[in-house]
Amino acid sequence: MDPIAAERRHRAFLATAQLRYAWQFRQRGCAGVDDPVAVDVPPGWYGPLERLFEQVEQVLPAAERGGFRWRRLRSRQGVLEVAYDGVRESVSPLVATARETAAVTCERCGRPGARREVAGSHAVSCRRYYLDRLLSRHPGGETGVRQWWATPQPGLGGRSPAAVVQNGAPPEVLIEQALRLAMPATPRLNGAHRQRLQGVWPVLSEAFGDGLRSLRLAEFDPARGPGATLIGLMAGEADSPAQAAAVNRLARNGFSDLRLRLVGQRDLARPARASDPWSCMLAVEASVTIPRHQPSLPPFAR
């Protein structure tokens, strides 16, 4: 959608909501101070928000509406952020449902989607718009994207990506090809980098034990300062609490600049089906192995 059309659609959505549910959008503040509700949501989430406004209208009787107003409704990294003043007992469950719905609703079109990363940016996308997001990182720019769309490919039975997508959602082969095209350069580590990063091994081995099979580094650019993606290849799945605990361990041991991602071995074979396709493809195409830490041996044992 072009920016002008998107802006018009957003204004229409907001104007309709403010007219229909004026009491939910009332302004607060000192005299003479403009205090509008901050609304910054993508068009795919208009539906869940419209249902939220309607449900709040139904559950709050007129006597309880005086202190209620929305303060902030916005999308941040693929998460619906909602802030409001007033009654919470009746409204909180409705807000939770709206956030859960947004988490599986494509931000662009409103069809079913999933929260996916592209180069550090997260959004909820269906397969079609996830493909578009990946192609925005095409190294050939708009010209390269147009050529890619129009070029017949053997893996597609001699058809072009454009012809394939016309018949439905992009197949895995297109998603994986776009992921490869979007990958950053493979990091180049000098000796000092490798020596420092070897110190990650004992920290994470303590957290995951034999479940940690390999460590790889991606999205690392010394010229741009701290920050890199650390990918742990796991024998099985690692739950969220274990990953959060491992992140804390890294920070306490001087590795707070590393963003930890855990990838199961099965996901590497089919990145497009993984819960974290970006990290899977980084591990396969655009990362370097961090050698396992070898503790120093005493002189008599060498």
HEC assignment per residue over 47-72? HHHHHHHHHHHHHCCHHHCCCCEEEE
Q: Are 128 and 48 in the same domain? A: no
- Counting Cα atoms < 13 Å in the Cβ hemisphere of 231 gives 25
Give domain status of residue 161, yes or no: yes
Q: How far apart are the first and last CA of the chain?
A: 66
Give domain status of residue 39, yes or no: yes
Give domain status of residue 277, yes or no: yes
Boundary residue ending a domain (77, 102, 127): 102
What are the counts of helices (DSSP H) followed by strands (DSSP E) for the chain?
12, 9
Give domain status of residue 110, yes or no: no
Q: How many CB atoms are located within 10 Å of the residue 191 CB?
A: 7
Give domain status of residue 298, yes or no: no
Q: Are 218 and 236 in the same domain? A: yes
Q: Are 130 and 87 in the same domain? A: no
Residue 237's Cβ-count burial label (10 Å; 0-12, 13-18, 19+) is middle
Boundary residue ending a domain (102, 127, 152): 102
| CA distance linking residue 74 with residue 42, whole number of Å | 8
Cα 297 to the center of its chain, rounded Å: 43
Is the separation of the CB atoms in 182 and 285 below 8 Å? Answer: no
What's the whole-number mean pLDDT along residues 91-99? Answer: 96
Q: Is 234 left (phi over 0), alpha (psi -120 to 50) or beta?
A: beta
What's the whole-number mean pLDDT along residues 184-190? Answer: 93
Beta strands in the chain (DSSP E): 38-40, 69-76, 79-85, 114-118, 121-125, 212-218, 228-234, 258-264, 287-289
Give domain status of residue 302, yes or no: no
Is the separation of the CB atoms in 281 and 271 below 8 Å? Answer: yes
Contacts of 234 (CB under 8 A, 6+ apart): 208, 211, 212, 213, 262, 263, 264, 265
pLDDT at 302: 41
Q: Are 22 and 43 in the same domain? A: yes
Helix (H), strand (E), coil (C) string for 193-236: HHHHHHCHHHHHHHHHHHHEEEEEEECCCHHHCCCEEEEEEECC
Instruction: Give me the domain span that covers residue 123.
Output: 116-182
Give domain status of residue 40, yes or no: yes
Q: Are 141 and 224 in the same domain? A: no
Query: pLDDT tens, 262-273?
Result: 999 889 989 999
Which of 266, 234, 187, 274 lies closest to 246, judged by CA? 234
Q: Are 168 and 198 in the same domain? A: no
Rounded (to 5) percent helix, strand, coil in the chain: 50, 20, 35
Query: pLDDT tens, 23-66?
Result: 999 876 555 456 788 999 999 999 999 999 999 999 999 988 98
Boundary residue ending a domain (52, 69, 102): 102
| CA distance linking residue 285 with residue 181, whole number of Å | 10
Q: How many CB atoms are located within 10 Å of the residue 183 CB?
A: 20
Q: How confident is the model at residue 299 (pLDDT cuts 50, 70, 90)?
A: very low
Q: Are 196 and 165 in the same domain? A: no
Segment of 23-32, 187-196, 289-298 carrying the highest mean pLDDT: 187-196
Q: Are 199 and 163 in the same domain? A: no
| CA distance linking residue 56 with residue 45, whole number of Å | 17
Q: Which two tokens stand for residue 129?
A: 């718009």
* pTM over the 0.85 mark: yes
| CA distance linking residue 70 with residue 23, whole number of Å | 9
Q: Are 125 and 87 in the same domain? A: no
Q: Are 199 and 275 in the same domain? A: yes
Give domain status of residue 50, yes or no: yes
Q: What's the number of domains the chain is made of?
A: 3
Q: Are 232 and 142 in the same domain? A: no
